[in-house]
Amino acid sequence: MTDENKYIYVRGRKIRVSDEVYKAYKKELNHEAHLNRQSRKYKVYGFEDYKLDLNSIADEHVDIEKIIEAKMRIEDLTKAIGKLNKEERELIYAIYFEEKTLKDIANTQDTNPMKISRIRDRILRKLRDMLDR
């Protein structure tokens, strides 16, 4: 037994629909209501719940150009370090990434910290020259 007098509202207008369309419509409405109940139960909120103007969130003090420039400089530095020989790369890595002291490095290489300092300075000049090109 089907009831031919099923209606749904579309853009504020009442429209008569078949029983099949009405059931599908009601199924979607019930599913949406279920999801909303679950969201409230588990405290899941969407951005629309916060009534924020997302344009007002932007930090006007951030200089995007400087960030991009810094990233490009880091990429250039990474490439330049990649052009160093193995010993030079290992020394730079030990000093700047492992944060070892010149004395620690000198002890492992059975030399003195002044020699390590001179080697480091030479490598840094080499890197600076590569970056200035």
Domains in the chain, CATH or no CATH each: 6-50 (no CATH), 64-132 (1.20.140.160)
Taking the C-alpha atoms of residue 42 and residue 37, their distance in angstroms, rounded to an integer, is: 9
Is residue 18's pLDDT more than 80? yes
Amino acid at 96: Y
Query: Is-contact 17 8, C-beta < 8 A?
Result: yes
pLDDT tier at 109, thresholds 50, 70, 90: very high
Question: Is the confidence at residue 2, as pLDDT, over 60?
Answer: no
Beta carbons of 15 and 7 less than 8 angstroms apart: yes
pLDDT greater than 50 at residue 46: yes
CB of 105 within 8 A of CB of 94?
yes
pLDDT at residue 52, as a whole number: 64
pTM exceeds 0.85 for this model: no
